[in-house]
Each structure stands twice: as structure tokens, then as C-alpha cells.
Structure 1
């Protein structure tokens, strides 16, 4: 039992919260990456969107209908109106961080319709440019 706990890292002498560094990419690949990429995630209950800084693989800004401050202002947390509100809030947060343009990353099954269209159009309406 002792041997297994050492292998799994549950020993009390080892730190349990390890920080995983972002992936290191060669400089020639970084030149061709889009600097900021918008990724959206929709569930049956919530809408969330985040902008990822690709060279460092970190989240630059995000907005979700799960946030307590936003839940009270949203009627429902899962429809097209909620997606538009999330896009507007994300755009305002991006402009506060001086991020003027993002690239849109759609999954293979996502189409420019419905909630996806609402998020992207509200980003564009606030003033964020799409690459």
C-alpha cells in the first residue's frame, strides 16, 4: 500500500498542487499562430466563451453565464439572448485589456448560426475586430 501511494503522489512530503507550465513551442511556429483565439462552449444549461493567448497557452479573458454577477441580470442562462450578453461582456473585458482583435475558432460541428452567431455578432458590435 505504501508503494502505491508513493507512485500516485499522495505522500504527505510531496506537494499535491503541481503547476503545469504551458507548452513550449518553437519560435518558427509561434510566428504563424494567431495571437488571440476565441473559443466557445455551450451546454444545455450554460454558455461560456474565452479568449486564449496562443503563444503562452493562457486564458486572456473569459465570460460565462455561470458567474454569479451575471446570473441575476440574465433571464435564462442558456438561450440566444444569454449568448449575446456573454459576447458583449467578453468584448468589454477584451477592450479593457487592450485586445482589439481575436481570431474565431469554430469546432467542426459548429455553424455560424444561433448561439455562435449571437456571441460573434455581439463581439463585433462592441468593437472587437475578428480575424
Structure 2
């Protein structure tokens, strides 16, 4: 049984950004997800851990952790966002992330696909 997250009061949710892009990079994989803040649910996600994508990348002898993989994840995530009619997101950076390398690749692909940033 799945327990839904607790609902936040309206006085809190009116100040939250509706959709937040979160990125996580490991030594093997690239993960990106868009979280709907008021309900604390994942609206869309893409990862190089997905079986179909991982097998396709391994077949073409591509890495699942470099900048090219991050760009591919950005494009897939953008397509999934536009299918779900989510036109704009806010970027959430971790303390050690800068707008460079993999982070830049994901964000640039989202922008090129037509997703706007708040």
C-alpha cells in the first residue's frame, strides 16, 4: 500500500515553485527528475539506468556517465515534460554543482527542446 505524502497548507504552497528540476550524477549514471513541489511527487524522470536506454547505449559503446549521456537525458526529459504539458521548471542546484559540464548539458537540452525556466 502506498501512503501519499501529507498535504501542505495553502499558506505554504502559494510560495513554492510548482516544478523543480533535480539532477543527480554518480560515477556510473546520470539521473534527472522534475518534482511537483506542492504534492511532493515526481512529475517526470529520466535516467541512464533505464533498461532500454542503458542497453542501447551499451550496444553503441557509449558511456552512461559522460556529458553526452547527460545531454541525451536532458532531451528525453524534455520530451516527457512536453507530453505531460509541463512548460516551465525551476532548476535546483546542489551545493557542489555549477553550471558546467553535465549540469549545463542537461539544462541546455531542456532549453533547446522548448522548456522554459522560472
TM-score (norm 1): 0.83
Which portions of structure 1, spanning 4 or more consecutive aligned residues, are displaced by more than 6 angstroms?
A: none
1:91 is paired with a residue whose SS is helix
Give the Cα–Cα distance (whole angstroms) in 2 for the partners of residues 127 and 31 of structure 1: 25
Q: CA deviation at 1:24?
A: 2.1
Distance in 2 separating the partners of 1:65 and 1:80: 12
- Residue in 2 that maps onto 1:7: none
The total of aligned residue pairs comes to 114
CA distance in structure 1 between the aligned counterparts of 2:111 and 2:89, rounded to whole angstroms = 10
Please state whether the residue corresponding to 1:72 is helix, strand or coil: helix
Quote the Cα distance in structure 1 between the aligned partners of 2:2 and 2:46: 23
Looking at CA atoms only, which structure, 1 or 2, has the larger radius of gyration? 1
| Superposition RMSD in Å | 1.0
- Say which of 44, 54, 76 aligns to 1:89: 76
Is 1:49 the counterpart of 2:13? The answer is no
